[in-house]
Amino acid sequence: YPLPMIVEEDRPRMSALLAGAALGSSGNDVEFRVQEGAGGPRWVAISWQPMFDLAGAAMGFRTSVRDIADRKQSEQDLRESEERYRRIVETTDEGIWTIDANTSTTFVNPKMARMLGYTIEEMHGRPLRDFMDEEGWAVAQAQLARRAQGIADLHEFRFRRKDGSELWALLTANAIQDSTGTIVGALAMVTDVTERQRAEASLRDSEARFRSLFEH
């Protein structure tokens, strides 16, 4: 491509590559944008090999140019899709937690980490058992056995926060499968219901006191 056809921002890079090519260097799939009239710039990839005469003097280049506009658009669409999902995951009011087949934490979103009083970095790689007491771990093992059978579930669970206090949560849990269908972990959507649990416990206590008064 003549240099004027190349998008202005890409011209310095292309000029440097051409200077190197004049000294005998080759290039493979160098990407840059070319003007395409009213349709805007278009991505192409160029490869070249220098050609020499019998005396070894450079006499030109053998080049090939590929249109990569569709691939670049797909990459852009993928980046935008990933960014949308990243914003959803980071700003949702629910905790998101994934573990691998060994119950080690592979991902938590900021909400999940805050719910338990940790940072994301503190939770990453730690086993699920670290975030519950012995009773909770026994319940968790039963639930993990259901995940291993591919059974999705909705249930309440008690975690232990970093400061030792309780976190009651409503979990929607699903197994994670690889491309062969093998279960390699689990994903949970976690909602904090601690205040509701406290209110229900307070109501039960209150009802028990009034019942005791009436009975005696």
pLDDT digits (tens, 9 = 90+) for 68-100: 989 988 998 888 888 888 888 887 889 999 999
pTM to 2 decimals? Answer: 0.64
pLDDT over 90, % of the chain: 37
For the stretch 86-141, pLDDT in tens is 888 887 889 999 999 999 999 999 999 999 999 999 999 999 999 999 999 999 99
Cα separation values, 27 from 42, 114, 147, Å: 20, 50, 51
pLDDT by residue (tens digit) across 186-211? 999 999 998 876 655 555 555 666 56
**Element (DSSP H or E) covering residue 108:** strand 105-108
Contacts of residues 175-183 at CB distance under 8 Å and 24 or more positions apart, as own/partner, are 175/147, 175/148, 175/150, 175/151, 176/98, 177/150, 183/101, 183/147, 183/148, 183/150
